[in-house]
Amino acid sequence: MTKIHVNLNTASTIRQGMVIKGGRKLSDDYRTEAACCWLNTNDYERLSVPEKVKVSTSEGDVTVFAREDDSMYEGEIFIPRGPWANVLISSDTFCTGSPYYKGMDATVECSDEEVLGCKELFEEL
């Protein structure tokens, strides 16, 4: 099974913000929008065009939906800021008061595991 080494970045997205208006973080729409990993086309193809990927860092791992995005740099992935990204990011703030949302070393590989909803993810953790 192919595993690639990447640089993980996270941030909020406009669509993610639209979906959670009115407290809809437990909805399937939110899972679809926030439980995803955007990959460069070459990286996506190197992983054999997966539906889902397992992303791992020194902090943990999580399975999310894979999305091809040709605007991403090769060797870089993006996961919207939220519960799934929080499994992966370091809680160390380096005295800034903000977690390490950018530039974490990670690996990505294909996954057959279920993409958990918020409630199930919290229960598992």
Binned average pLDDT, 10 residues per bin, the chain of 125 residues: 92 68 69 92 96 96 96 95 89 69 90 93 88
Q: For residues 106 and 88, is the Cβ–Cβ distance under 8 A?
A: yes
The per-residue pLDDT for 103 is 83
Q: Domain-by-domain residue ranges, the chain?
A: 3-124
Assigned CATH for 3-124: 2.40.40.20
Please report the beta strands in the chain, taking only residues with DSSP state E, as ranges in sequence order: 3-11, 36-39, 52-56, 61-68, 76-80, 102-110
Model pTM score: 0.87
